[in-house]
Amino acid sequence: MEKLLIVNNGSASKKYALFSAGVPVFKAHLEKDDEGEGLVATLTYGSQEEKRATSQDDYENAVAFIFKFLVEKNLITGPQGLTGVGLRVVAPGEHFKNNHPLDAACLAKLEEAKLQAPLHITPVIAEIRQLKKLLPDTPVIIVSDSAFHANMPDSARRYSLPKETAEKFEIYRWGYHGISMSSVLRKFKEQMTLPGKIIICHLGSGSTITAVKDGKSFDTSMGFTPLEGLVMGTRVGTIDAGAVLYLLEKSGMKPLELEDFFNKKCGLLGLSGKTNDVRELIALEREGDEGAKLALDSFATQVKKYIGAYSAEMGGLDVLIFTATIGERSWIMRERICAGLESMGIVLDEKRNKETVSKSGFINQERSKVRIAVTPTDEMGEIAQETSLAINS
């Protein structure tokens, strides 16, 4: 029986899952606790869920922590009990346009890419080293978060750089959250025939808007790295390149310090001055907090801009899909985003919208020309499918 360990490391958390014959039998989520001071692991298996306080050492060596738990619960017998490992990778470059078995050449490419996006790739390399130490003979499949966007039209993919510069340094709009896009489209196809013109709003701590035409990526908001595009939880999103150069000159920050600043201290956190949590921002806005209002207004405005731009680019819109944490759970932000888009044929149903939280459903009024859907993403399930495909091919 095929058993796959799935690994999905985010910027502020780590997720693991064990799939047995294509079915998830265990899930783990390691993150900061509600107070933001300690670490907690949420472990789900069978019908049981338990939370464990987790040390920094267990977090940094999470693979060993998870593996020990799986053996304790008899979910696997040992290293020989695993068929393979699927690992989500967020990295720019031609090598990461597709999924790959992990080998020395792939690891070398990751080390190169680390110079371009150290905050995203450094934790992945650390995870790989732990995996190879713990499971030296188990195949590891690198599942690319950019693969979905690999055949995006050049008009969307290219920056306005000279061709030789773009080719030499591989500077293109690679796009990310592709695993989520594939998952959402797969789920949506279970409900109805896939229409020709779709916009998917993956809204979470990291956010992406993607235009999908005839089932393929047509344009997407993230670019060379996940910093481009929407204002996000703590990421700056799109910013004038001249402002970046000016900050580098005037702030005294070194390039890596500036990258850390753009990744961790901007976005909703920077605009509000208080928090990057949308739930907290909504509560603060109700209390009259101007910074919170600005952050939420900026987020909604930018999402509207992309919806308008991509609709124009595709020559219309059939379906608008919301997914990921904010997209699936926050009816308030969906309402805020859709407000004023009636002239585009996007008409939200207030009752349906409020009732559709963390589940699939259509939330548009009958008179709406554009169908509006909430479709929960399942990145772990998608990674498992891609890993199984790669191992058995």
Nearest to 27 by CA among 367, 283, 271, 384: 384
The Cβ of residue 254 has, within 10 Å, a number of other Cβ atoms equal to 10
CATH code for 178-235+267-374?
3.30.420.40
Amino acid, res. 376:
P
Q: Which two tokens stand for residue 194?
A: 């896939």
pLDDT under 70: residue ranges of the chain: 11-12, 32-37, 119
Give the DSSP letter of residue 339.
T
Residue of 103, 145, 277, 378 marked active site: 145
Long-range contacts (CB closer than 8 Å, 24 or more residues apart) made by 210-214: 210/149, 210/175, 210/177, 210/181, 211/310, 211/313, 211/314, 212/181, 212/185, 213/314
260 catalytic? Reply is no
Residue 82: half-sphere exposure toward Cβ, Cα within 13 Å: 24
Domain ranges of the chain: 3-147+383-392, 178-235+267-374
- How far is Cα 27 from Cα 11, in angstroms, rounded to an integer? 18
Calculate ∠ Cα 315-319-323, nearest 5°: 125
- How far is Cα 387 from Cα 393, in angstroms, rounded to an integer? 10
* DSSP-derived pairing of the beta strands 3-9 and 100-101: unpaired
Q: Which two tokens stand for residue 91?
A: 């990295």
**pLDDT for the residue numbered 12:** 67
Domains 3-147+383-392 and 178-235+267-374 share a fold: yes
- How far is Cα 250 from Cα 203, in angstroms, rounded to an integer? 33
Sign of the alpha-carbon torsion through 116, 122, 41, 145:
positive
Contact, 365 vs 348, CB < 8 A?
A: yes
**Under CATH, domain 3-147+383-392 is a member of which superfamily?**
ATPase, nucleotide binding domain (3.30.420.40)
Give the DSSP letter of residue 226.
T
Q: Which two tokens stand for residue 186?
A: 């797969």
Instruction: Note the helical H segments in 154-289.
Output: 154-157, 163-169, 178-189, 241-250, 255-264, 267-272, 278-286
